[in-house]
A and B are shown apart, each in its own frame.
Chain A
Amino acid sequence: MLLALLLAGCESQPQVTFADASITPPDDPIELPEGPGRDAVLENCTACHSPSTMLQQPRVSREKWESIANKMIEVYKAPVDEAAIPAIADYMVAVQARGEPQQPN
């Protein structure tokens, strides 16, 4: 997809040629630590985004996790089951309490 810049004889502007572009993004392994509530997170959160969005957050309160999940429903219209929010919040609070994830081998 290199851009071809060709000077045309009688025109003041260089001609720009646009070629099609495509990429194959890397796979998303959806790696989530084990723990109670993991299934709720898999069912409700990781369809739209990678788990790292949650796992890399600073440690916040259970209420904050609940408000984040509610924002996903209210603002981003995510198909999150409201009944699953307590389990999602439990899971995130527990994972954050464990601290920094270990470097994979």
Chain B
Amino acid sequence: MSKLEQHTGTRLTRRALIAGAGGAALAAPVLAQELGRMIDLGLPGGPSLRPLTPAFPGKGEMIVQRIRPPLLETPMEVFSQGTITPNDRMFVRWNWDMPTAVNAAEHRVAVGGAVKQPVSLTLDDIAAAGEHVEVVAINQCAGNGRGLSNPRVTGTQWGNGAMGCAKWTGVRLKDVLAKAGVAGGATRVRFAGLDVPLTDGAPQFIKSIPLDIAMRDDVLVAWAMNGEALPLMHGFPLRIVVPGWFSTYWVKMLSTIEVLTGADDSYYVAKSYRIPAAPITPDDKDFPTVEITTMPPRAFITSHADGAAVALGKPLVLEGIGMGGDAALERVDLVGDGWAIPCELGPDEGPYAFRRWQVTLPQVAGNLEKIGVRAANVTGAVQPDALNWNPSGYARNVIERITLVAQ
């Protein structure tokens, strides 16, 4: 009997067996016993405290947004340690419960829809489909930073830790598509994974990208993350990687690839994960929307937290990370009230990777009020001073401000 059935007393028809739903009850330690440490995400108006725990399999200390299905956020301190986010600290996000066991030999990826010959591929078939490619790319939730929206909006109340940067290894999606052959009239390529709804009739989490994006040389069907097999919570055995695009398209536990000939009218493309077509105010009700796609530039100070003390009269070194989004980072500036100081950029690990920045202030003359860092990418996109508010809290990239106290 599934957990859903236990709680509701209703026997529900399931589209597929969710191995995890029953297994959760067998887990030994009650998470609550381990929730001794809390972290304050600084969400305006609260609730702002979240548990920090290493209790999830394969994970280090993570911020718990939700136990089931898991939503785990990366503490910001992790981003001070380098440009690559270790697998055990990468954020976790599932829309629906995922299976807790996957048999590699039995796993298949069906490639169908508008193709010349539908195929069912084993993992070995996928690995042999083409050249093995490595891409360093940021994986960021479309709702990263939603909890910081003001006015607040409902949804997963992430701080800014629903992001991470990893080296992904796999084959090109276009090489996998070639195993079936894309037919004429193809418009989009849609992905589905092993995560399916608990309830009959609910929308499966399926997502599609335009064909020209699918055919890019750096769009992958990946099996490795930072040189290790994809951890189950990150989509074992395969996930889609679309560098520069929000992670909603990076479908995990990939099991179906479907070539479409028209628009995608499925729920998570046509109804959800959409942003206003033009800027709106919180009072606007009816407005056209477009699907969220590419990431804008962002930057963060990682050397100091909001409210940290700095030494009066001494030099101050500030450090952090920046990203260009869907194009390479061009510059990062430290900004305050009416001033901007260029930061020095660290090694370039590719256009879709985090990049370190550093700046030295010769002497701290007083409190540094509401300072931030402003990233710009090579296409001219630059972080705005004011939040592009939207009712789903998507694509936050307002300049993040902190105050440092001189003493």
Query: What is the interface of chain A, defined by CB distance below 8 A to chain B?
Result: 1-3, 13-16, 18-29, 31, 42-44, 46-50, 52-53, 55-60, 64, 68, 75-79, 99-101, 103-104
Contacts and interface: CB of A to CB of B under 8 A. Distances in A.
A76 B199 contact: yes
Interface stretch (B231-239, B302-310, B329-337): B231-239
Contacts of A77: 197, 199-202
B68 A58 contact: no
A49 B69 contact: yes
Contacts of A58: 43, 45-47, 147, 152-154, 157
Given A18-B223, A18-B237, A26-B67, A56 B50 contact: yes
Given A31-B32, A48-B199, A56-B157, A18 B123 contact: yes
A19 to B, nearest CB: 6
B154 A14 contact: no
B358 interface: no
A20 B102 contact: yes
Contact of A26 (B27, B103, B156, B198): B27
A22 B102 contact: yes
A52 to B, nearest CB: 5
B49 A100 contact: yes
A75 B100 contact: no
Interface of B: 3-4, 6-8, 10, 12, 20, 23-32, 35-36, 38, 43, 45-50, 53, 55-58, 64-70, 100-105, 107, 123-124, 127-128, 131-132, 147, 152-154, 156-157, 197-203, 223-224, 227-229, 231-233, 236-237, 267, 271
A50 B198 contact: no
A59 B229 contact: no
Nearest to B107: A18
Nearest to A27: B27
A24 to B, nearest CB: 5
4 A-B pairs with least C-beta separation: A58-B152, A47-B7, A22-B101, A18-B104
Nearest to A53: B66
13 contacts: A3-B224, A16-B123, A16-B124, A18-B124, A20-B103, A23-B232, A25-B20, A26-B31, A47-B198, A48-B4, A49-B68, A53-B66, A76-B199
A77 B28 CA distance: 31
Nearest to B146: A58
A56 B20 CA distance: 24
A18 B66 contact: no
Contacts of A2: 228-229
A66 B154 CA distance: 13
Contacts of A100: 46-49
Contacts of A57: 154, 157
B68 A24 contact: no
The listed residue with most A CB atoms (<10 A of its CB), out of B28, B43, B124, B198, is B198
Contacts of B10: 79
Nearest to A29: B32
Contact of B32 (A13, A23, A56, A104): A104
Contact of B66 (A42, A50, A79, A99): A50
A72 B223 CA distance: 34
Contacts of A79: 4, 8, 10, 12, 199
A103 B7 contact: no
A22 B105 CA distance: 14
B223 A3 contact: yes
B132 A13 contact: yes
Contact of B3 (A3, A24, A31, A47): A47
A78 B197 CA distance: 10
A24 B26 contact: yes
Contacts of A13: 127-128, 131-132
A68 B153 CA distance: 12
A24 B233 CA distance: 11
B20 to A, nearest CB: 6
Contacts of A103: 38, 49
Contacts of B233: 23
B66 A49 contact: yes
Contact of B104 (A19, A28, A46): A19
Contacts of A55: 47
Nearest to B151: A58
Contacts of B229: 1-3, 18-19, 21
A101 B47 contact: yes
B220 to A, nearest CB: 13
A27 B45 contact: no
A57 to B, nearest CB: 5
Nearest to B129: A13
A25 B24 contact: yes
B190 to A, nearest CB: 19
Contact of B58 (A16, A18, A23, A68): A23
